[in-house]
Amino acid sequence: MTRKFTGRHFAIIMVVGFGIVVAVNFFMATLATRGFGGVVVENSYVASQKFNGWLEAAREQEKLGWSIEPSRDGDGRFAVRTASVPELATMRIEIRRPLGEPEQATINLVREADGTYRSPEPLAEGRWLTRLYVQAGENRWAKEVMIQ
């Protein structure tokens, strides 16, 4: 004996199917909003007005001829190897987690005898979005790198 496929069966299939789609969408949206708040700049119009100034600053930075290679040492400390950077330059980093729980810090790097600048303490494990700032007199240099 075969059962007939009725409108009730069709309605149940449609409700269950769309229910699964809606549940998955809500789950994915929840994961997305917990991981990234969506703000890259506070005011995109103001940022667009400053864009040409940022390009000019980048050109001036390139003219300095400084070579700066940031990395993470084997002991977990943030390290910066430099070339052509004046010895009296100061360096600091602003670090933040790119995803997940907000975690931020500003760290002044210490110049060691070999000319490498290092953070005094190891960074916590994981991925960090790092903004590196170097200043030597009136000259300023900046770079943003991802460190893992």
Any domain includes 73? yes
The contacts of residue 66 (CB under 8 Å, 6+ apart) are: 82, 83, 84, 85, 134, 141
This prediction has a pTM of 0.67
Any domain includes 117? yes
Any domain includes 121? yes
- Look at the chain and report how many structural domains it folds into: 1
Residue whose tokens read 């969408």: 25
Any domain includes 76? yes
The DSSP secondary structure of 25-75, one letter per residue, reads HHHHHHHHHHH----SSS-HHHHHHHHHHHHHHHHHHHHH--EEEEEE-TT
Any domain includes 19? no
**Domain CATH for 108:** 2.60.40.10
pLDDT band at 37; cut points 50, 70, 90: low
Any domain includes 140? yes
How distant, in Å, are the alpha carbons of 18, 20, 30, 32, 99 from that of 25? 10, 9, 9, 10, 20
Predicted confidence (pLDDT) per residue in 87-96, tens digit: 889 999 999 9
Any domain includes 16? no
pLDDT computed for residue 33 by the predictor:
78
The contacts of residue 55 (CB under 8 Å, 6+ apart) are: none
Residue range of the domain that includes 70: 66-147
> Does an H or E element contain 146, and which?
strand 139-147
